[in-house]
Amino acid sequence: MKKINVFFLSRFIIGAIFLVSGFEKIIQPRQNFLYVIQGYDMLPHGSLEYIAASIFPLLEFLTGVYLIAGLWTKISLFAVLACTGTFIIAVSQAIIRKLPIEDCGCFGDLIGVPLWMILVMDISIFCMTVILLRHLKKTSFFSLDYKIVTIN
């Protein structure tokens, strides 16, 4: 019986979470995610919120695709760290400030997740991503990066 590569599985799961989350926001009207961003009350109202609502879904989606494929794995993992770090700050400040947010808005209209649950998930993803970066060779198992490096 073959052993399951936990690093590959973790990379795939994180990639799937980012892919689904980004895709759900991309297929919805941009104003839906803009409204979510405005609910966290972190950015000055106006163009910065609109830019974030435009960029984050695409960044999440592409990061998910690249992680699943194992293409530019190291860069993709750093993108996960940046995104989840941002999410942790946004959700934490919303909890501390007791903002009236019932659903994090992380998965568009697909599912609603309470803030405390998404905070636990984001912290878990952040920690797992640090571990994946520390074991990049094992993380790159069954990846395009691995195929490209071993071919050359």
What's residue 3's pLDDT?
A: 65
Name the domain count of the chain: 1
In the predicted structure, residue 134 carries a pLDDT above the cut 90: yes
In a domain, 1, yes or no: no
Cα 60 to Cα 24, 67, 100, 122, distances in angstroms: 10, 11, 25, 13
Q: 3-class SS at 86?
A: helix
In the chain, the amino acid numbered 50 is: Y
Q: What is the pLDDT of residue 66?
A: 95
When mean pLDDT is compared across 27-31, 102-106, 122-126, 144-148, the lowest value belongs to: 144-148
**pLDDT exceeds cutoff 50 at 48:** yes
Tell me the chain's radius of gyration from C-alpha atoms: 16
Residue 97 belongs to what domain range?
6-151
Q: Is the pLDDT of residue 29 over 80?
A: yes
